[in-house]
Structure formats: C-alpha cells, structure tokens
Amino acid sequence: MKRRSRNILLTLLTILIVIQFVPIPKTNPPVTGEIQAPEPVKAVLQRSCYDCHSNRTVWPWYSKVAPVSWLLYRDVTQGRKAMNLTEWQEMTALRQNRRRKGVWTEVSGGDMPPWFYRPLHPSGKLSDADKAILKAWSDAGPAIPRQKAESRRQKAEVVLGSLTAAAHRSQDKVENRN
C-alpha cells in the first residue's frame, strides 16, 4: 500500500514537472483604441477589468506555472473575445452600447469580476462606489447618437418610398398593357 502511494505521488510529480515545458503565449497584442469614457469609469475598468478584457494584461507570477497558466490563458482569451476595452473603437456604436449595458448586467449579477479573480487581486474588487460609477455609466444612454438614428429612419423612408414608387410604376405598366 505504501509503495503504491509512493508510485502515484512520483507519477503526479513527474507529470507536474513535464507540463511546465508546455508553453502558453503570454502576449499583449497592440492597443488599437482605448475606451472613451469619463475618467472615474476608466479608472474602475483599468483597475478591475483590464487584466482579462484588454491588450494590457499584467501576467502575474503564477501565469508561469502549469496548469494554472493554462486556465489563466483561457480566461484572458475568452475575456478579450467577449469585450476588449483596448479595441473599443473598432466596435460599432450599437455594439459599444450593448457592451456597456452588459458590463452593468455582469457586475450587478455578481459575475464580474469572477470570484476566483478577487482573492488574488484585492484591488480588483468593486466597492459600492465603483458599482455606482459603472451603473451611472451604463444608464447614461445609448452610444448611438440620436442624429444617426434619425438619419437611418430617413434612409428607410427613402428606400420605402422608392419601393412604393417602383411598385406603382409596375402596376401602371400592367394596367396600360390591358
């Protein structure tokens, strides 16, 4: 029994050592555009969100230790894919608005920052004041300017008018043939 336990322990230790040689890419792609938000909002996002949701990830010491490094890499990759605050300007205004509203949905639901992030990053914990700042930012209104919405409505009316006119012309041609 003692020998079996020793063999299992040695096997696990060997696996742990071997997996350290499986690298993960710990890179930060170029920043293409910072989020445009009031300074208090930016400060909260940079402190609590940028490690997973930006191209400015600070890779901690444990990002060098497998298998934790693999989990960290997965979390950062998924976080950047869901919302990258340093590629914010590449999103459409509608998508920016949805992401901004989504930030508050995640925060108010207690899903962000994740529970496993908070103990290792105490500065990332959101205070009630931080939450109030994010709530106000989320409620600040749509990112789509009213002018653009009106312009889209006008374009739709022009298209509908053109289609209506074309339909009338087709109908006139049919009636003239008869």
| pLDDT tens-place values along the chain, 178 residues long | 788 999 999 899 888 888 888 888 888 999 998 898 999 999 999 999 999 999 999 999 988 999 989 999 999 999 999 999 999 999 998 999 999 999 999 999 999 999 888 888 898 899 999 999 999 999 986 644 555 555 555 554 544 454 444 444 545 554 555 5
Whether 173 is in a domain gets the answer: no
Whether 176 is in a domain gets the answer: no
Whether 149 is in a domain gets the answer: yes
Q: Are 69 and 25 in contact (CB under 8 A)?
A: no
Domain span at residue 20 reads 2-167
- The domain tally of the chain equals 1
Whether 85 is in a domain gets the answer: yes
- Three-state DSSP at 133 gives helix
| Residue 46, CB-side half-sphere exposure with 13 Å CA sphere | 10
Whether 52 is in a domain gets the answer: yes
pTM over the 0.75 mark:
no
Q: What are the structure tokens assigned to 74, written together?
A: 């997965």
Whether 174 is in a domain gets the answer: no
Whether 48 is in a domain gets the answer: yes
Whether 114 is in a domain gets the answer: yes
